[in-house]
Structure formats: C-alpha cells, structure tokens
C-alpha cells in the first residue's frame, strides 16, 4: 500500500520536472538601473517570457522595501530626501531568479529647494529659556547645520552660533528681556532664506526684600531692595506700603541701577506694634507682599 503511493509520487515528480525541464529559462540580468528624482527605472531582461522584476531597497544594509512588478519602473517618491539607498533589481521568470543588478544612490534634494525654519518656540526652564524651531520633516536629513544670530536689548553685535540640532538653551535670561533670532539653514553648500523671530521672556512680579530697619519712638525707617535689572527688567512703577494705620505709595521711575527705596513712616505712637505689607507693582502686576511687624520705641525720658 505504502509502496504504491511511493511509486506514484516518484512518477509524478519525474514527469513534472521533465515537463518544465524542457522550458527552463534563466532570465538575463538587467543591464542598467537609473534613478531620477522620483522614479527608479531599469532595462528589460528579454530572453524569457513573462519576466517579472523583484526590487529590493536597502538603507544602511537593512531591507526597507521589497516589490515584485511587471513594469520597467517604480515610483520611489516615498523615499527620504538626502538619504543613501541601495537598489537591487532581480529578474525572475516562472519562479527562476536571474542574477541581481545593483545601484547605490542618494535621494537628491530637488534644485531650488528653499529650506526655511518655522514654528519657533521659547520655553522658560528655571533661569534659562529653551529655544526650538522646526523644518519640514522631509528635509531633516539634508541639513548640515543651522546658523543662529541672536541679539538682546543690550547688544549691538549679535552672538553667532553654528549648531547641528534644532534648538539650544539660552542661559540666565532676565524676565521681560527682548531677544531677536535670525536662523538660517545650511544644506548642500547653500543657505536657505533666513527666518527672523522675536522672543520676550515672560514677565514676573518683583518682590522687595528688607535690607535695613531703624526704629524711633515716632518713626519707622525701612530700606527695600528690588530684584536687580539683570534678573528682572520688567518695568517697576510703584512700591506700596499698606498698613493697618497708614498707606503709602512710592512712585518709581525705573532705571537699570534700581536703587534701594527708603520708606519713612512718621507720626507714630511710641511703644506700639505696627503691621504692614510692602509690595511692588511692575508690568506683571502687584508682587506678593513682604509682611512685617515693628514695635516703636518707648519715649526716652532723658531726651526732652
Ligand atoms: C523620471 O523618469 C520618469 C520615467 O522614466 C519620467 O516619467 C519622469 O518625468 C522623470 N522625472 C524627472 C524629474 O526627470
Ligand atoms: C508648524 O505648526 C503648524 C501649526 O501648528 C503645524 O501644522 C505644522 O505641522 C508645524 N510644522 C512643523 C515643521 O513642525
Ligand atoms: C513632504 O512629503 C510629503 C509626502 O511625500 C508631501 O506630501 C509634502 O508635500 C512634502 N512637503 C514638502 C514641503 O515638500
Ligand atoms: C552661507 O552662510 C554662511 C554664514 O552662515 C556664509 O559664511 C556662507 O558664505 C554662505 N554661503 C552661501 C553659499 O551663501
Ligand atoms: C522683531 O522686533 C523688531 C524690533 O523690535 C521688529 O522690527 C521686527 O519686525 C520684529 N520681527 C518679528 C518677526 O516680529
Ligand atoms: C528716618 O529717616 C529720616 C530721614 O532720612 C531721619 O531724619 C530720621 O532720623 C530717621 N529715623 C530713624 C529712627 O532712623
Ligand atoms: C517704564 O515706566 C516708565 C514710567 O511709567 C516709563 O516712562 C518708561 O518708558 C517705561 N519703560 C519701559 C522700558 O517700558
Ligand atoms: C497684609 O497681607 C496679608 C496677607 O497677604 C493680609 O492678610 C493682611 O490683611 C495685609 N495687611 C494689610 C494691612 O494690608
Ligand atoms: C490701606 O489699604 C488697605 C487695602 O489696600 C485697606 O484695607 C486699609 O484699610 C487701608 N488703611 C488705611 C489706614 O487707609
Ligand atoms: C497695597 O495697596 C495698593 C493700593 O491700594 C494695592 O494696589 C496693593 O494690592 C496693596 N498691596 C497688598 C500686598 O495688599
């Protein structure tokens, strides 16, 4: 029983292979492969009938795409610009493969492409600001470097930076400081159109700190220091002293020096506790209050 099946199989196998043996045709390799902007094309392999072509596209040695087609060209517009690929074309006829032909080529950036940065953002991280920008993602492999010129309010000559990534950290910025950035993309030995951006560090209130306190029997003198211009240049307009028994407003014309502010509260009663809050107002609004409680001195009987 087993043997009958064996013989039948052998016969079938023999006749089967003998049948194709007569027509066995190994397709000749394709002679040329060409790549223009978006199309891979190759010469035909003509010696067999019904020849098909297997296309393998590798990048850095790894197979990324594989196709089998009847035509003599393939649309490869989906490949990434400025990346190198290896293309192999292997003809096949009736499941018999011929020899492969290869082409190594980069995908060229079309002539007159202008790469311009866009979507500029600035994010404050502590005392620093992270500046970032983007280019159309089709072009990311093409960029050699970015050239950044940056100015702030106090500079006439800009800082000039050549950087490989699409952003950098601007360190120790001052609140309300204005910056200007000119960013140019360098690629294929040309420069794209320069894009210009302005950025202002977000405003923040300016909390005063007490540097000196002098008490008398009818007076309290306090001296207040303001956050320096180098840290916070949001324009200060006033300093408020709000107490249960007095309110005073000191108008301030802001200047880079930011001198300390002397607050003198007079006509007070001797030996009395006074509570008051000191705050400043700048373009960001009124700062949190500095709370203070001060006792006036007893009247000195020796002074009369
Ligand atoms: C690329 O080749 C294809 C087919 O050969 C042709 O249709 C197309 O116009 C060519 N494109 C360019 C930019 O030369
Ligand atoms: C830029 O921002 C726009 C809108 O927010 C978005 O559609 C676009 O994809 C962004 N472009 C890049 C290159 O990130
Ligand atoms: C980027 O590639 C996509 C897909 O190929 C295309 O639709 C788009 O127009 C391309 N963008 C630019 C700016 O060439
Ligand atoms: C591109 O800009 C750089 C400065 O960023 C300059 O040195 C170079 O000459 C420019 N190249 C071209 C081709 O304009
Ligand atoms: C940036 O600011 C400068 C002066 O403050 C102004 O002339 C320029 O038009 C601004 N640029 C942008 C892109 O807003
Ligand atoms: C407070 O300041 C005023 C004016 O500067 C001064 O005359 C007075 O003596 C000071 N009082 C005290 C207690 O320091
Ligand atoms: C700051 O405020 C003063 C007084 O209001 C004003 O004269 C000055 O121009 C302001 N400075 C800036 C840089 O806004
Ligand atoms: C001082 O500030 C505190 C908290 O901000 C508030 O509760 C208090 O009423 C203020 N005192 C005066 C005199 O404004
Ligand atoms: C001072 O101003 C605060 C509010 O800012 C108010 O509650 C208080 O009554 C005022 N004190 C006097 C003596 O006017
Ligand atoms: C102090 O008084 C001024 C003026 O009335 C007010 O704008 C400010 O908010 C007050 N400051 C505090 C800390 O209450």
1 pLDDT exceeds 60? Answer: no
Percentage above 70 pLDDT, the chain: 91
Helices (H), the chain: 2-21
Q: Share the mean pLDDT of the chain.
A: 90
Q: What Å distances lie between residue 3 and 6, 8, 57, 180, 218, CA to CA?
A: 5, 9, 49, 90, 127
The answer to whether residues 135 and 117 touch, using CB atoms and an 8 Å cutoff, is yes
| Spatial distance between the Cα atoms of 298 and 270, rounded to a whole number of angstroms | 5
53 pLDDT exceeds 50? Answer: yes
279 pLDDT exceeds 80? Answer: yes
75 pLDDT exceeds 60? Answer: yes
Q: Which residue has the higher pLDDT, 7 or 186?
A: 186
> In this predicted model, what pLDDT tens digit does every residue of 169-227 receive, in sequence order?
999 999 999 999 999 999 988 999 999 999 999 999 999 999 999 999 999 999 999 99
Tokens 């203070």: give the residue: 292
Tokens 């309010």: give the residue: 153
Q: Check if 43 has its Cβ closer than 6 Å to any atom of ligand 7.
A: no
pTM: 0.77
Query: In terms of DSSP bridges, do strands 62-69 and 73-75 run parallel, antiparallel, or are they unpaired?
Result: unpaired
Backbone angles phi, psi at 139, to 5 degrees: -100, 0
Best mutation site among 36, 69, 108 for ligand 1, i.e. most ligand atoms within 8 A of its Cβ?
36
Best mutation site among 118, 119, 146 for ligand 2, i.e. most ligand atoms within 8 A of its Cβ?
119
Which ligand approaches the C-alpha of residue 275 most closely?
8
């Amino acid at each position: 029983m087993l043997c009958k099946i064996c013989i039948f199989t052998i016969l079938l196998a023999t006749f089967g292979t003998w049948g194709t043996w007569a027509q066995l045709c190994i397709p000749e390799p394709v002679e040329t492969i060409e790549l223009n902007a978006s199309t891979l094309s190759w010469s035909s392999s003509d010696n067999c009938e019904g020849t098909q072509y297997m296309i393998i596209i590798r990048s850095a040695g790894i197979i990324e795409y594989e196709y089998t087609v009847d035509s003599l060209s393939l649309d490869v517009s989906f490949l990434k610009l400025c990346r190198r690929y290896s293309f192999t074309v292997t003809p096949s006829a009736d499941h018999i493969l011929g020899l492969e032909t290869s082409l190594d080529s980069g995908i060229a950036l079309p002539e007159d492409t202008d790469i311009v940065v866009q979507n500029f953002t600035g994010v404050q991280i502590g005392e620093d600001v992270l500046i970032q920008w983007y280019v159309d993602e089709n072009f990311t492999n093409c960029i050699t470097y970015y050239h950044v010129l940056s100015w702030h309010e106090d500079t006439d000559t800009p800082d000039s930076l050549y950087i490989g990534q699409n952003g950098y950290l601007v360190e120790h910025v001052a609140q309300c400081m204005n910056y200007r950035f000119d960013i140019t993309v360098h690629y294929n030995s040309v420069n794209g159109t320069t894009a210009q951006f302005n950025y202002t560090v977000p405003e923040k209130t300016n909390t005063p700190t007490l540097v000196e306190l002098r008490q008398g029997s009818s007076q309290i003198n306090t001296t207040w220091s303001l956050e320096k211009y180098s840290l916070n240049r949001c324009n200060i307009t006033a300093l408020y002293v709000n107490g249960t028994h007095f309110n005073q407003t000191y108008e301030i014309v802001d200047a880079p020096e930011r001198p300390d502010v002397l607050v003198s509260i007079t006509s007070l009663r001797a030996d009395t506790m006074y509570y008051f809050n000191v705050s400043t107002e700048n373009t960001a609004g009124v700062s949190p209050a500095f709370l203070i409680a001060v006792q006036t001195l007893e009247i000195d009987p020796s002074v009369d």
